[in-house]
Amino acid sequence: GCIEGDKKESRGALIVLEGLDRSGKTSQCNRLASFLEGQGTSAELWRFPDRTTNVGQMISAYLSNTSQLDDHTIHLLFSANRWEKRSLMETKLKAGTTLVVDRYSYSGVAFSSAKGLDIEWCKAPEIGLLAPDVVVYLGISPEKAAERGGYGGERYEKLEFQKKVADYYKVLRDDTWKVVDANQSIEDVEKQLQEIVTDCVAECRKGKPLSTLWS
Ligand code: T5A
Ligand code: NA
């Protein structure tokens, strides 16, 4: 639902990039944040998991296979990692800073659901987090993504698993999503992203209210 009382203020936009592993999210987030800064828009690059916090370090150990955790437990840690940043996120947005976020709740739900956890159970701890103004999904086939830069040793970087993740991303898609073909050159993807976010940043500046997941 809408968060009241902030309709008149000029705020930053919450921009999220999602996609399979190796779809190009981090490359594009960097370029996008620089583009916005160049336009005179105050912008910051964020990412989830945020591996710098205590919770983030537990997640990082799990992803690199140096620790083992129950599927539900790691799901809740990913969610907790977003909750611990929520109030700062709201403060920044209300102060007019646009946030370019590399993965968010959609990754949380798609990856855990792909392991076999119930999707509604997966969505529940995300309810009340700030809703993105736009989600740019970098669309690429799992096979093409796997050819890029080679998967490293992280836990989820396996073709069969990525196929399941792609299926759950499809289920999660809503009208805040824009799908960009990530098979194009880095520069072509970049141009499309710039068009998408320019409109979005303008709408937020005009006073589009902030809202929350998942409603
Ligand atoms: N996860 C995450 C959960 O399970 N739950 C959660 O709640 C969250 C938030 C870590 C893992 O955690 C899972 C999902 C992940 O499996 P991460 O740290 O974001 O997530 O993963 P990383 O390994 O850092 O990043 P990715 O593997 O997802 O890669 P990116 O960021 O999509 O891709 P990028 O930009 O690094 O590019 C990959 C390679 O492709 C090239 C790049 O140069 C690079 O070599 N490339 C292109 N090549 C050709 N054409 C293009 N257009 C290209 N764009 C990039
Ligand atoms: Na990345």
pLDDT in tens, 148-203: 977 777 899 999 999 999 999 999 999 999 999 999 999 999 999 999 999 999 99
User: How many domains does one find in the chain?
Assistant: 1
| Residue 23 in contact with ligand 1 by CB distance below 6 A | yes
Three-point CA angle 13, 162, 191, nearest 5°: 40
**Domain presence at residue 84:** yes
Q: Is 118 helix (H, G, I), strand (E, B) or coil?
A: coil
102: domain range?
A: 14-205
pLDDT at position 181: 98
**Domain presence at residue 155:** yes
pLDDT in tens, 40-52: 999 999 999 999 9
The label of the residue with tokens 């809408």 reads 2
Confidence of residue 4 (pLDDT cuts 50, 70, 90): low
What is the whole-number distance in angstroms between the Cα of residue 3 and the centre of ligand 2?
30
CB–CB of 62/154 below 8 Å?
no
Q: What is the C-alpha to C-alpha distance for residues 75 and 105, in angstroms, rounded to an integer?
A: 10
CATH value at residue 139? 3.40.50.300
Percent of the chain, pLDDT > 70?
Answer: 96
How much is the mean pLDDT over the chain?
95
Helical H segments across 39-70, by residue range? 54-63
Averaged pLDDT, 77-104: 98
Q: Which residues contact 76 (CB under 8 A, 6 or more apart)?
A: 125
Distances (CA, A) of 167 to 66, 112, 150, 203, 211: 28, 12, 22, 31, 26
**Domain presence at residue 111:** yes
Residue 2 has pLDDT above 80, yes or no: no
Averaged pLDDT, 126-144: 97
Task: Report the nearest atom of ligand 1 relative to the CA of 19.
Answer: 32
**Domain presence at residue 194:** yes
Q: For this complex, say whether ipTM is above 0.90.
A: yes
| Residue 144 in contact with ligand 1 by CB distance below 6 A | no
**Domain presence at residue 79:** yes
Q: Residue whose CA is closest, atom 51 of ligand 1?
A: 186
Which residues are close to ligand 2, an ion, with C-beta < 5 A?
26
